[in-house]
Amino acid sequence: MPTPAELVEAIKSLALVGATGDATVNVKVYTYLNTAYRQLYEMVAERYPWFVQTTQPVLMAAGEGTMDPQPLHILSVRDTGNNLAALTPTDVLTVESEYPGLDDTGNPSRYWVDGFTGLNSHPRSSTTLRVRFTPQANALSETSEESDIALQPVHHDALLWGTLKLMAYDERDKVIGAELAYNKDAHDEVLDRMWRYFESHAPKQKKQVQSYLN
C-alpha cells in the first residue's frame, strides 16, 4: 500500500489540472491531501471512535491539569485514585452556579475542558485522571510512512479520491464538469465501501463521544 509520497504521485498522475510541474506543486498537493485526510479521519473518529481511541494520564494538581496531546474528542475521564470512578462532563458555569468558589475538595465527580488542553475537575483533588480520547490527525508529509495514515491501508483510495475531489472543486473554473462529477462519484463509492467495512467490524455497543474540542 502507498506511502503519502506515493499517494501524491498517484494524485498528480490522475489530476488533469493543478498537479503537474516542479516541486512547488507538491506543497499545494500536500495541502489538499492533508485537508482531505483530516476530513476523512475526523468522520471516522466521530462515527467509530473505537478505531482510533487511546488514553493518556493527566496529573491533576488541586483539580487542574493539562492534556498532552490535545484530544480531538474526549470519550471518558476516570479517576485512577478513586477506583477508576467515572467523571461526568460539564462546564465551569454549571459548577460555579452550585459552588461559586469552585474550592470544594474531595474525590472529583465532574470535569470540564479549559481552552484547548486544560482539564479541570470538581471537587478539587490532586490525583491522576485517565482520559480516553480520539487523537488529532497527524499532518502528512513526503517523509511520512504508510503507517502514519490512521486508516486501514485498503481504504487509502478514499484519501486519494477525496484529495482529487477537493482539487477538482478548487480548480472548477479550469476543469470540465464531467471531471468534477467523476471525482465526486468515485469518492462517494469508496466512502460507501469504507463505511460498510466499519459497520461490519463495529462493536455491538459503540462508545459515544461525550465532549468535543473545537
pLDDT band at 209 (very low <50, low <70, confident <90, very high): low
* Cβ atoms of 74 and 97 closer than 8 Å: no
The letter for the amino acid at 98 is E
pLDDT of 177 above 80: no
pLDDT of 40 above 60: yes
> What pLDDT is stored for residue 16 in this prediction?
58
- Cβ contacts of 5 within 8 Å, gap of 6 or more: 142, 143, 144
> What pLDDT is stored for residue 6 in this prediction?
94
pLDDT of 75 above 60: yes
pLDDT of 187 above 80: yes
pLDDT of 201 above 90: no
Domain ranges within the chain, ordered by starting residue: 4-48+138-207, 51-134
d(CA 210, CA 207): 9
Q: Which helix (H) or strand (E) holds 76?
A: strand 71-79
> What pLDDT is stored for residue 107 in this prediction?
98
Of 9-13, 35-39, 91-95, 209-213, minimum mean pLDDT range: 209-213
Number of H helices, E strands in the chain: 5, 9
DSSP letters of 148-165? GS-S-GGGHHHHHHHHHH
Q: Could you report the per-residue pLDDT of 151-167, keeping only the tens digit for each?
A: 988 889 999 999 998 88
Residue owning grid cell 503507517: 147
* Mean per-residue pLDDT, 192-213: 73
More confident residue, 212 or 95: 95
> What pLDDT is stored for residue 184 in this prediction?
82
pLDDT band at 205 (very low <50, low <70, confident <90, very high): low
**Lookup: cell for 171:** 480548480
pLDDT of 66 above 90: yes
**Lookup: cell for 177:** 464538469
